[in-house]
Copies of this chain bind each other. A is one copy, B any other.
Amino acid sequence: MSIILTGGAGFIGSHLCAHFTKQKERVLVLDNLSRGKEEYLRYQTDQNYIDFQKIDIANIPLTALVVKEFHQQYPVDMVWHMAANSDIPAGTKRPSVDFNDTFVTTFSILEAIRPLGIKKFTFASSDAVYGDHGPEKKLTENTGPLLPISYYGAMKLASEALLSASAESYLERVWIFRFPNVVGTPATHGVIFDFINKLKVTPDRLEVLGDGSQKKLYIHIDELLEAMIFIVSNSNEKMNVFNIGPDDSGCSVTQIAESTVEIVSPKATIAYGTEPRGWVGDIPKFLYSVDKLSSLGWRSKSSSIEAVRKAIVEIFKQELGNDKI
């Protein structure tokens, strides 16, 4: 059976694509290449097992047509839906970005598979669905209320809600992964990427948005991939919702800035802003429980800061043009 992978040319999607094709599973990759790149599909991915279509998945009739044609030739068993706007601050300025790229894509791919009897669905959700519960409360998969403060988080929650209703109606099995920050290459955006590129322009000075106190959880892409595959293989409820991340309280922007400077440009000074938030919709600090995933039998080997430091080296190499993804 084949797989549909949306956002397959993006950061996380391209790693999944490499994984599936190595296992000789045929993959239909749908991607609008807004941040993803076709070259991300060329390195580790076996080209014999991949069909790539550059389309805007928010285009409902076109997506339905492309999916139907592929399914007729290579019957599909499962969708991995990774397509989304991944630049949260961009969405804050223009709500239509997350409306279209993070939510309408979900509605569209579901409308495409509903008449075809494709009944398994995995979805890249986010810790941003929780909103701001303060720095003390440990967020589990059952935490409420869910009042996201970014459009990105809102449209991830909207997608989860749609999947939940679809599971009641026709999907057999849904896996929802709530990701923390994911780091590694190919990097297209994010705090490490920004710091490295700022240091390329001004090697003696790194300007940081916010006061550096923001603290978040980070996971490396290699471990995220492992966790997702593990969850799909080992959980079999109708709705399987899992926080994925390291079992720690995250690392601060100050730690990331200091590590980046140490690795990339050791003589640079760091200048911080005064606000505890970097942008509207950014949550300064929160605690996140991965107990459910630990109980299932998977634990992250790296802490947040270890994942970040590994990614700094990788992204630095990538930005120097030595990227060997």
User: In the docked arrangement, what's the CA distance between A147 and B158, Å?
Assistant: 10
A206 contacts partner chain B, Cβ-Cβ < 8 Å: no
Instruction: Check A162/B168 contact, CB under 8 A, given A99-B107, A146-B144.
Output: no
Say yes or no: B147 contacts A239, CB within 8 Å: yes
A92: chain B residues within 8 A (beta carbon): 169
* Residues of A in contact with B, size category: 35 or more
A interface, by DSSP: helix, strand, loop or mixed? helix
Chain A, range 25-58, C-beta contacts under 8 Å to B: none
User: In whole Å, how far is A158's beta carbon from the nearest beta carbon of chain B?
Assistant: 3
A255 contacts partner chain B, Cβ-Cβ < 8 Å: no
A311 contacts partner chain B, Cβ-Cβ < 8 Å: no
Say yes or no: A168 contacts B99, CB within 8 Å: no
A245 contacts partner chain B, Cβ-Cβ < 8 Å: no
Say yes or no: A161 contacts B145, CB within 8 Å: no
A117 contacts partner chain B, Cβ-Cβ < 8 Å: no
Instruction: Check A151/B131 contact, CB under 8 A, given A107-B99, A111-B96, A142-B145.
Output: no
**Could you say which of A92, A95, A147, A148 has the most chain B C-beta atoms within 10 Å of its C-beta?**
A147
Say yes or no: B151 contacts A165, CB within 8 Å: yes
A222 contacts partner chain B, Cβ-Cβ < 8 Å: no
A166 contacts partner chain B, Cβ-Cβ < 8 Å: yes
Say yes or no: A162 contacts B151, CB within 8 Å: yes
Say yes or no: A148 contacts B169, CB within 8 Å: no
Closest 7 CB pairs of A and B: A144-B144, A158-B158, A154-B161, A149-B168, A154-B165, A147-B164, A157-B161
Which residues of A come within 8 Å of B, CB atoms? 92, 95-96, 99, 103, 107, 110-111, 114, 129, 131, 141-151, 153-155, 157-158, 160-162, 164-169, 239, 241, 280-281
